[in-house]
């Protein structure tokens, strides 16, 4: 059993107090009739779905969303009894599991809808479901005309109860997207009217992600779906002044070796860095296999002893090298922070995203499973 022995000194601290702080930020934008449907898919964006869900439950959240049946089952089997929505819908052969484990499937197309209804009727039960409209994302869900054509069939499906109507905003992170975003809200409202004309009245209505919650009014909605903001990531660059978010993930690694190299020494694969002076190099046991992106070669930073120090040479699968020449007090075993906060300094997911030309969502999800998570201030 490997857990009988000390682990490699690389880990991610997950600050659950910061998670709850970010939840309160989201709730400040909710209207009185709205409640949070917390998005904990993709292992809570790499933060750990079970500990995150438990903490949010303790903070008063009652509704959660995952992407797949597998993600939902992992939470159910760990004892989570809260409402669990499966955003990715139901694939053939999964129908019975949704009923057995009391999950909320999202209806994305007629075929899945018919299969779920047939299974529910076979089991002589009524399955609550949410119906998704493609209001302009161009991805999944019923197109308006498709819903109109399917509506007579939908009215006859005795095994399903449509308790929710939903869509997803495509451009809400762009504050100049009013035309598109308003049109999506209108499409959702039109779908609601279409259902009402067929005497189908979903109690829940939702369309807003983190950006939609903060920047756009969805006054008719009963649920809002914050995701990235719960984990301390901005929905977009223009949201920094609107939100007081705290980083939840802090990626750390301890110095495994110190090397004193003369001027003219090549470092790492390809010798893409050559020392110009006598250089003290700290070697850390973390690399791109852990989610520390190879694009940080020769341009990454780490927080160490209250300063930011540069990454030298190519990021390896399992190692990175830091220039600590100007930090004579550094010793083997000292902890460096690569993502998050330490010593009053920050390297945020949004900082990584800007440098890598991606988004904070991907940054967090890419921190690999071989990096153990340590949960701070866990209450559940």
Residue 131 DSSP one-character state: E
Q: How confident is the model at residue 4 (pLDDT cuts 50, 70, 90)?
A: confident
Q: Can you give the pLDDT at residue 318?
A: 98
Cβ pair 286, 320 in contact under 8 A: yes
d(CA 357, CA 119): 45
Average pLDDT over residues 323-329: 97
Q: How confident is the model at residue 1 (pLDDT cuts 50, 70, 90)?
A: very low
d(CA 349, CA 330): 26
Q: Can you give the pLDDT at residue 2?
A: 57
| Least confident range of 108-112, 174-178, 376-380 | 376-380
Whether 19 has a pLDDT exceeding 90, the answer reads: yes
CA distances from 344 to 249, 298, 299, 326, 364 (A): 15, 24, 21, 19, 21
Average pLDDT over residues 24-36: 96
Phi, psi of 7, deg, nearest 5: -85, 160
Residues carrying an active site annotation: 41, 269
d(CA 63, CA 70): 17
**Which domains does the chain carry?**
31-232 (3.20.20.10), 249-376 (2.40.37.10)
d(CA 274, CA 271): 6
Q: Can you give the pLDDT at residue 217?
A: 83
Say what percent of the chain tops pLDDT 70: 98
Cβ pair 13, 250 in contact under 8 A: yes
Q: For residue range 74-100, what is the model confidence (pLDDT) as tens digits?
A: 999 999 999 999 999 999 999 999 999
**Element of type H or E holding 84:** strand 83-86
Give the sign of the dihedral formed by CA 142, CA 148, CA 149, CA 150: positive
Neighbours of 8 (CB within 10 A): 15
Average pLDDT over residues 131-152: 97
Residue 290 DSSP one-character state: G
d(CA 327, CA 309): 9
pTM of the model: 0.95
Helices (H) and strands (E) in the chain, counts: 11, 20
Q: How confident is the model at residue 68 (pLDDT cuts 50, 70, 90)?
A: very high
């Amino acid at each position: 059993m490997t857990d009988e022995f000390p682990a490699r000194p690389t880990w991610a601290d997950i600050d659950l107090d910061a998670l709850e702080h970010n939840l309160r930020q989201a709730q400040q934008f909710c209207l009185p009739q709205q409640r949070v449907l917390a998005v904990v898919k993709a292992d809570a964006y790499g933060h750990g779905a079970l500990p995150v869900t438990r903490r949010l439950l303790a903070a008063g959240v009652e509704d959660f969303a995952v992407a797949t049946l597998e993600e939902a089952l992992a939470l159910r089997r760990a004892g989570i009894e809260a409402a669990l929505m499966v955003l990715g819908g139901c694939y053939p052969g999964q129908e019975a599991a949704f009923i057995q484990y009391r999950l909320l499937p999202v209806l994305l197309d007629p075929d899945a809808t018919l299969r779920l209804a047939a299974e529910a009727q076979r089991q002589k039960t009524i399955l609550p479901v949410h119906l998704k409209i493609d209001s302009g994302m161009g991805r999944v869900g019923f197109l308006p005309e498709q819903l109109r054509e399917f509506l007579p069939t939908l009215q006859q499906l005795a095994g399903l109860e449509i308790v929710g109507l939903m869509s997803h905003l495509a451009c809400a992170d762009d504050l100049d997207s009013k035309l598109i975003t308003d049109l999506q809200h209108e499409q959702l409202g039109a779908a609601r009217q279409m259902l009402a004309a067929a005497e189908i009245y979903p109690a829940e209505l939702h369309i807003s992600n983190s950006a939609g919650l903060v920047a756009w009014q969805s006054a008719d909605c009963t649920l809002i779906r914050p995701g990235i903001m719960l984990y301390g990531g901005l929905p977009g660059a223009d949201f920094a002044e609107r939100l007081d978010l705290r980083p939840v993930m802090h990626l750390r690694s301890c110095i495994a070796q110190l090397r004193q190299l003369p001027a003219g020494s090549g470092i790492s694969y390809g010798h893409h860095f050559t020392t110009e002076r006598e250089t003290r190099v700290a070697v850390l046991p973390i690399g791109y296999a852990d989610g520390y992106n190879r694009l940080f070669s020769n341009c990454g930073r780490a927080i160490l002893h209250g300063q930011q120090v540069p990454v030298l040479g190519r990021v390896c699968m399992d190692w990175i090298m830091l220039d600590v020449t100007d930090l004579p007090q550094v010793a083997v075993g000292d902890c460096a922070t690569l993502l998050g906060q330490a010593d009053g300094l920050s390297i945020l997911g949004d900082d990584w995203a800007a440098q890598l030309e991606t988004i904070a969502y991907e940054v967090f999800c890419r921190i690999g499973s071989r990096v153990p998570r340590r949960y701070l201030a866990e209450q559940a």
